[in-house]
Amino acid sequence: MSVTPTTDAAARDSRAGNGAADGTGGTVGTVGTVGTAGSSGGGAPFVTTVATPTLRAFLRRSSFWVIAAGCVMVIAIVTALVSGASNAAGRALAGDNPAPAGSMALVEVLRQQGVTVTLAGSLAEVRSAVGANSTVLLYDENSYLDGDQLAELADLAARTVVVAPDFLALQALAPTVGFGGVSDASSISAGCSLPAADRAEELLPGGDTLSIPLGGDPLVTGCFATSTDTFSLVQVENATTGRLVSLVPDARVFNNENVTGYGNAALTLGLLGDSDSLVWYLPTLADLPRTGPPSLAELTPGWVTPVAVLLLLVAVAAAFWRGRRFGPLVAENLPVTVKASETMEGRARLYARSNARLRALDALRIGAVQRLARAVGVGRLAQLEEVIGSVAQITGSAPNEVRRVLVDAIPHSDAQLMALSDALQALEQATGRAVMAGIVPAAAAAASASREFSPPPAERMDP
């Protein structure tokens, strides 16, 4: 909302037009008189004009947030629908699932026929519920069971019906049976002597199949053939215990959606209703072995331990060997007096190793300046400029040249360092000869140097 001061003429125009539309899609209307514009001269009264935004302008400014909110709502609705659909489908072939993928219809029919159906979610529950003449239905959709658990399951009940067996189940329960692919036959008839298959007569086509050897095995029976060696039902008899394992590769035969079609109901009721007790077993995560994280010893390769022991023995032998070579410890009294020449050579080697030419030259310059100050008699507390002036006057050299040798020159190579060192030595020798010859007495030289060169602020030379 914008507030604009207007004069009486503007107010009258505004009232005459009952508000004019502004450039932003709003409506301009007069609210009332606020005061007088005294600062502009004339004391003309002014009123406030309010621009009220229209719905179209509001939507134009808020279009981004409206679209974003709409997208969020659409995503939330789709997510809810998808999750609801997945929850409605339930677990496949679950005995308490009334959805098309479940098997609640078959379980209820078996219970009406007097069969006690127990829903089990772990192998421990199967052990507690199974009897000597019980039937167990197994549908391991996620392959939770291993080979040992499958073999134990086959030994628990007199009859075991395995729906959609995977490779591990075939290897554990029927090693001679393999996968036969998807059937392309339009109709499948029983063609075997099993009573349940004969009552069914035909089966739902288009499902997975199993293959058995062409040579034939009297303990393996194939029904509902889709080719010469592929079948939709295979039954294997244990030669030792006489227990039966029926393999049905197509899980659609047992679900609510297809159990009433073809002869599916007759086959499933015949396979599962031969005994008074049925355990409907769908494995869960409870069947997985409960093991903690592997220990460090389990993660370590087998060769690490002997190699570590060998390295420890080698370290002990090396310590014993080197310790005997050093001999016994020698006690030495402290402090120890070290010759000045040794420390000088040590510092020189350090300067040479680090290419600290300027630092080495500064050490020489400090010593030279102190000796020159004593030679010309200016004293220990004299300023550097006093020493330079005195030395220049005594030796007859230019002050700038003396200052270059004592302060300004910077060596960039070992040759320049040697040349500056020689120049320092030559300057000291020239000063000493001049003082000894009596050209300028030391005290006079000091006084003259003090008058000619005013001392600047103190300078510091780092060693």
Beta bridge partners of 137: 161, 280
pLDDT computed for residue 210 by the predictor: 92
Span 262-267, average pLDDT: 89
Give the pLDDT confidence of 93-109 residue by residue, as tens digits: 888 888 988 999 999 99
Token code pair at residue 231 = 């079948």
Token code pair at residue 84 = 């609801």
Beta bridge partners of 52: 27
Q: If 0-12 CB within 10 Å is exposed, 13-18 middle and 19+ buried, where does residue 332 land?
A: exposed
Give the pLDDT confidence of 288-338 residue by residue, as tens digits: 877 667 778 778 888 988 999 999 999 999 888 877 666 667 777 777 777
DSSP 275-334: SSEEEEE---GGGS----PPPHHHHS-TTHHHHHHHHHHHHHHHHHHHHHHH-S-----S
**Helix and strand totals (H; E) in the chain:** 17, 14
pLDDT computed for residue 88 by the predictor: 56
Span 203-218, average pLDDT: 84
φ, ψ of residue 420 in degrees (nearest 5): -65, -35
pLDDT, averaged across the chain: 79
Distance (Å, whole) CA 104 – CA 265 = 13
Alpha helices per DSSP H over 327-409: 340-353, 357-376, 384-395, 399-403
In this structure, are residues 98 and 104 in contact, taking their beta carbons and an 8 Å threshold?
yes
Give the pLDDT confidence of 317-326 residue by residue, as tens digits: 988 887 766 6
Span 53-71, average pLDDT: 74
Beta strand 277-281 with 116-120: parallel, antiparallel or unpaired? parallel
Distance (Å, whole) CA 394 – CA 434 = 6
pLDDT computed for residue 77 by the predictor: 84
pTM (predicted TM-score): 0.48
Q: Where is 50: in which H helix or E strand?
A: strand 44-53
User: Is a pLDDT exceeding 80 seen at residue 455?
Assistant: no
pLDDT computed for residue 89 by the predictor: 64
pLDDT computed for residue 127 by the predictor: 92
pLDDT computed for residue 442 by the predictor: 46
**pLDDT class for 430, splitting at 50, 70, 90?**
very high
- Percent of the chain clearing pLDDT 70 (strictly above): 79
Give the pLDDT confidence of 245-255 residue by residue, as tens digits: 999 999 999 99
Q: Which residue has the higher pLDDT, 3 or 206?
A: 206
pLDDT computed for residue 325 by the predictor: 66
In this structure, are residues 48 and 10 in contact, taking their beta carbons and an 8 Å threshold?
no
Span 431-436, average pLDDT: 89
Report helix angle 264-272 to 104-112, nearest 10: 60
pLDDT computed for residue 52 by the predictor: 58
User: Is a pLDDT exceeding 90 seen at residue 137?
Assistant: yes
pLDDT computed for residue 51 by the predictor: 53
pLDDT computed for residue 118 by the predictor: 93
Token code pair at residue 61 = 């400014």
SS3 labels along 175-200: CCCEEEEECCCCCEECCCCCHHHHHH
Give the pLDDT confidence of 381-422 residue by residue, as tens digits: 888 899 999 999 998 889 999 999 999 999 999 899 899 999
Beta bridge partners of 161: 137, 246
Q: Cα 392 from chain centroid?
A: 74
φ, ψ of residue 295 in degrees (nearest 5): -75, 170
User: Is a pLDDT exceeding 90 seen at residue 450?
Assistant: no
Q: Domain ranges in the chain?
A: 3-61, 104-286, 344-452
Residue type, 197: A
pLDDT computed for residue 447 by the predictor: 44
